[in-house]
Amino acid sequence: MVTFLNNEKRVPVFEYYHLLLFFHPDDFRPMSIYGAFGDKLLRAEVEFSQGVFSKVETSTVPGYDALDEEDAQRFVRIIDLYLSDIVRAWTDYYVYRREISNEVILRRIN
């Protein structure tokens, strides 16, 4: 079983009040980002149609409890607000093999 919450396997992208958004090195197609709060986890698949963003589909990760409803909504909201940054980070990490830095979001998201 892949350990998604293991610090060595996480590629952090954003942190929002202890809600962590990260990539997993072994899960890059389709574009996926994970949201974790404590030991709860949710996977989001970012979908594009003809090069244009179309939707975000969330799913649970086997072996982990899902984020609670409030954290799941925040997770999707952060993806919506920071999609261009997430796509850039994904491209830097998976295509160009560059290191990416974790950004801490300090402003409140409704």
What is the total count of domains within the chain? 1
Q: Is residue 60 part of a domain?
A: yes
Q: Is residue 51 part of a domain?
A: yes
**How many CB atoms sit inside 10 A of residue 2's CB?**
12
Q: Is residue 6 part of a domain?
A: no
Give pLDDT tens digits for 74-97: 999 999 999 999 999 999 999 999
pLDDT value of position 109: 87
**Structural domain boundaries enclosing 91:** 11-104
Give pLDDT tens digits for 4-40: 666 667 899 999 999 999 999 888 788 999 999 999 9
Partners of 90 in the beta sheet? Answer: none
Q: DSSP secondary-structure letter at 98?
A: -
pLDDT value of position 7: 64
Q: Is residue 4 part of a domain?
A: no
